[in-house]
Structure 1
């Protein structure tokens, strides 16, 4: 009986560790005075009530992208690829601070609402940098042992991309959780109470404009991000 042909073995991967390049893109936020209070509520999906009138809203979107240059070896048994250079970018692609159109620019209440929103901006910017540092460390750990194998180079590359995504996702999930927690701390009942008592003359004019006949002390605030 003839011996069965030996199966082709996949080749060993190139041994060199990759170089990592990290870019953080975080432009200054855009301030907008275009939306009314009703417009801000449409953005959040939360209806107005006797105690809820959105005067400000800060929105942020973070995206990431990567590019992997590889070294690889191939045989009849398939391809083994390792990252040679990993370029990773985290970008705040949207960062908008909206203050309700009913609040006159430069007024006392405008300054109070803007200052409150800037605290949310600071959280977004700080958490982005923390996430970038954590993602870089995770990518370095992954890159030190990463191998992508497949029948073709495309399959091996896809394996590497999937591995990188899995490596850095915990850093991005941690950023989202940290943002939610920090924004809730800013949007505390005490802070909303303080805002509702700030700039009484402006508050009176605002109540007359948005809800005629409302009682003094109307609570107005922005939503949790």
Structure 2
């Protein structure tokens, strides 16, 4: 029996790590902050998350056959709606050295500025469904639930970033004063580590979003939606014929 189907694509593109290193031994700021075992306490860096949303765009020009091919196809379900979502991210952190004493230096995290940009947010509804029909409204409403899940990522990313900034502050505070020749190497290492950490956290959020999508894409939900417009609806007649 033909059933309602949906497939969501949520992709996190590769994270670009942008290293902003300000280091000049001849112009290092003086400081009396000398620590025996570590460089702390250090200031909390200025943090700004730039999250560039994209309003979802509706595409009604794709056939049910095209949607099934796009979603990978399934012998059990007809894909009558599809939501695609992609984002691109970059990470920018700036660390500056400060002199402790005896020619040794500590690091100060100055800024942490990740940028996340939604580059695709498309909602497809099968072209065979007439706008305003019961079947169209059922598919459109279901895809709207996927859109809400996608749009909820910003709050998750901000919370994860706040936690990561705390980790950066603690890590830098616990570092022992270092010789001048090791400063650039340490800055480069921390930029690389936290660039990877930011990407890991985004991937974790991505996996969580995928699970949220799966919770509304179940056989039980598909069956319920396929019967929402009564017997002999387009889900049972027009769409199966169009998909052949």
Q: Same fold (TM over 0.5)?
A: yes
> In 2 relative to 1, CA 67–104 (structure 1 residues): closer, same or farther, beyond 3 Å?
same
1:5 corresponds in structure 2 to none
1:85 corresponds in structure 2 to 111
User: What is the total number of aligned residue pairs between the two structures?
Assistant: 198
Is the contact made by 2:43 and 2:169 (CA closer than 8 Å) also made in structure 1? Answer: no
2:238 corresponds in structure 1 to 205
Per the TM alignment, residue 111 of structure 1 is displaced from its structure 2 partner at its CA by 0.9
Is the contact made by 1:32 and 1:97 (CA closer than 8 Å) also made in structure 2? Answer: yes
TM-score by length of 1: 0.72
Per the TM alignment, residue 78 of structure 1 is displaced from its structure 2 partner at its CA by 9.8
Kindly indicate whether residue 218 of structure 2 is the aligned counterpart of residue 188 of structure 1.
Answer: yes
1:165 corresponds in structure 2 to 195
Work out which structure has the larger RCO, using CA pairs closer than 8 Å and 6 or more positions apart in sequence. Answer: 2
> In 2 relative to 1, CA 90–136 (structure 1 residues): closer, same or farther, beyond 3 Å?
farther
Deviations 1:163-187 (A, max 9, x none): 2224334432331221122111101
SS for the counterpart of 2:109 is strand
Runs of 5+ consecutive residues of structure 1 not aligned to the other structure: 1-10, 212-225
Per the TM alignment, residue 129 of structure 1 is displaced from its structure 2 partner at its CA by 1.8
Per the TM alignment, residue 153 of structure 1 is displaced from its structure 2 partner at its CA by 7.0
2:169 corresponds in structure 1 to 143
Question: What is the alpha-carbon distance in structure 1 between the residues aligned to residue 153 and residue 93 of structure 2?
Answer: 25
SS for the counterpart of 2:96 is strand
Per the TM alignment, residue 157 of structure 1 is displaced from its structure 2 partner at its CA by 4.1
Per the TM alignment, residue 48 of structure 1 is displaced from its structure 2 partner at its CA by 4.8
Matching of residues 11-160 of structure 1 within 5 Å: 15-44=42-71, 46-49=72-75, 51-73=76-98, 81-146=107-172, 155-160=185-190
> In 2 relative to 1, CA 34–132 (structure 1 residues): closer, same or farther, beyond 3 Å?
farther
Question: What is the alpha-carbon distance in structure 2 between the residues aligned to residue 210 and residue 83 of structure 1?
Answer: 57
Deviations 1:93-149 (A, max 9, x none): 2211111222222222111101011111111122342132112321232134337x8
Deviations 1:44-98 (A, max 9, x none): 3x2353x322111111123321222332258xx9986542111122333221111
1:218 corresponds in structure 2 to none
Runs of 5+ consecutive residues of structure 2 not aligned to the other structure: 1-27, 29-33
